[in-house]
Amino acid sequence: MAGFIGIKDCGNAPRKILLQDFYKAVYRGETGYLMDFLHEQFVWEFPGGTIQTDKKAALAYLSQYYAARMQQLTITKMITHGPEAAVSGTVLTESGLEYHFCDIFTFSSAGSSMIKHVSSFQR
């Protein structure tokens, strides 16, 4: 099965809906849409020590690193509290490799939808 598989949610957590939309855009490679989610002082730490501090560079790296190779993106867990969130799931690549990821998000404030920092981990 190919595509994006999100989690079912009661609809009471707007940040979970925002994050699912974020990952749908990642899966589809919609980097222009993703720009709207990112704070001006955005930082993304990727596996292997790569750190992107420029929004456009981070999204270019992301599109090459994830979107070009994803056959399926599955979100398995999502936790949100205050200005932080954690999302875990799996990615199935076109070559059949499956890996697990966890992304830790920091928003600019508890009430903001602007992502200021992401730390990504995978195995």
CA distance 24 to 74: 10
CATH of the domain at 93: 3.10.450.50
H or E element: which one contains 94? none
Per the structure, how many domains does the chain have? 1
- Taking the model in full, what pTM does it have? 0.87
Judge whether 18 and 113 are in contact, CB under 8 Å: yes
Give the residue-averaged pLDDT of 3-15.
81
Half-sphere exposure of 27 (CA within 13 A, CB side): 21
Q: pLDDT tens, 63-114?
A: 766 655 788 999 999 999 999 999 999 999 888 889 899 999 999 988 888 9
Judge whether 113 and 80 are in contact, CB under 8 Å: no
pLDDT at 1: 46
Range of the domain at 11: 3-122
Q: pLDDT tens, 38-54?
A: 888 888 888 777 787 88
**Residue 75 identity:** I
